[in-house]
Amino acid sequence: MKVLITGGAGFIGSNLARFFKQHDPQGEVRIIDDLSTGRRENLDGVDAQLVVGSILDYELLKTVTAGVDSVVHLAAIGSVPRSVAAPRPTHDANSTGTLNVLEAARELGVDHVVVASSSSVYGSNPSLPKSEFDWTRPMSPYAVSKQATEGYAIAYGFSYGMKTLACRFFNVFGPGQPADHDYAAVIPKFLDAALNDRALTVHGDGLQSRDFTFVQTVCTAIFEAATKKIHSADPVNLAFGTNTTLMELVELMKQQLNKDIAVEHVDPRVGDVRASQSDGVRIRELFPELQPVPLEEGLAQTISWFQSKQPG
């Protein structure tokens, strides 16, 4: 099988590239990444073809798309706060970039595309757990761009008969997730602080909850989707119904690290969703054999990876 992973040098993309080669050693993995957030070293030891460039470069995008069996579109500017600070780059990369990916696939006859959406599209909808058929109300430019991402993918299915799958990611975490930038995700940010004896910064009361999903679970689902060309006329929550508050997460980290962790509460962030949890129904229908990695196990693997990167 030949697959193109956009954003394949990033956290999820590099894990996915490695997963593809482990489970299909004879397959071909192509990657396009502008390395704005992705890193070459994430692909160390992975037999993949990396093309450095942007999905906004349409002609370059077409050259790496030609001849593949499936496209997994992960390239994006992530982070709610980043989009609030600078909405236009988020729109360009996430919305226009997705249109480019789908149009290149259509033009070149690639009939299967998986795209990464986000649980942030639910926004101010207070219902828990969340079904794909609940209403959405984005609260940030990032969330809007992800709603455009999934909307374009689904529209290409209806308009052109393409097999598309829009996966709404829910707080994906795991080894390889960077902590060394202003917009780092909560688990790597917390672990980096805890391992370096700094107080954990919690925005608000810490009772906001998330449906944390281990990256291996995500890779397993996407690999199966690409190899079997699984598609859906509706978006799919790629999460399994867990509900963990940030303070519960801190307690779990204390147990696994076997150390006390200081917490500093600061003001809530603009655009942050209060609670996020999938009902897990559609994902189990589409991937009945997929068993998610429990939070405790995934966190232990993530801690081990972070500890391996500590100096000394």
Show pLDDT as tens, one digit a residue, over the chain (312 residues). 999 999 999 999 999 999 999 999 999 999 999 999 999 999 999 999 999 999 999 999 999 999 999 999 999 999 889 999 999 999 999 999 999 999 999 999 999 999 999 999 999 999 999 999 999 999 999 999 999 999 999 999 999 999 999 999 999 999 999 887 766 789 999 999 999 999 999 999 999 999 999 999 999 999 999 999 999 999 999 999 999 999 999 999 999 999 999 999 999 988 788 888 999 999 999 999 999 999 999 999 999 999 998 776
The answer for residues whose C-beta is within 8 angstroms of residue 178's C-beta and 6 or more apart is 11, 37, 39, 184, 188
Three-class SS of residue 264? strand
The pLDDT value recorded for residue 310 is 79
The CATH code that applies to domain 2-175+213-241+277-293 is 3.40.50.720
Distance, in Å, from the CA atom of 43 to the CA atom of 13, rounded to the nearest integer, reads: 9
The answer for residues whose C-beta is within 8 angstroms of residue 312's C-beta and 6 or more apart is none
The pLDDT value recorded for residue 53 is 98
Residue 186 token pair: 């909560």
The pLDDT value recorded for residue 185 is 86
Distance, in Å, from the CA atom of 292 to the CA atom of 221, rounded to the nearest integer, reads: 10
- Sign of the torsion angle spanned by Cα atoms 128, 204, 147, 219: negative
The pLDDT value recorded for residue 183 is 64
Distance, in Å, from the CA atom of 300 to the CA atom of 253, rounded to the nearest integer, reads: 9
List, in sequence order, every residue forming a beta bridge with 30; answer none if it has no partner.
Answer: 4, 49
Q: Where are the domains of the chain?
A: 2-175+213-241+277-293
The pTM (predicted TM-score) of the whole model is: 0.94
DSSP 48: -
HSE-up of residue 294 (Cα within 13 Å, Cβ side)? 4
> CA-based Rg of the chain, rounded to a whole angstrom?
19
- Helix residue spans in 166-294 (DSSP H): 186-195, 215-228, 246-257, 281-286
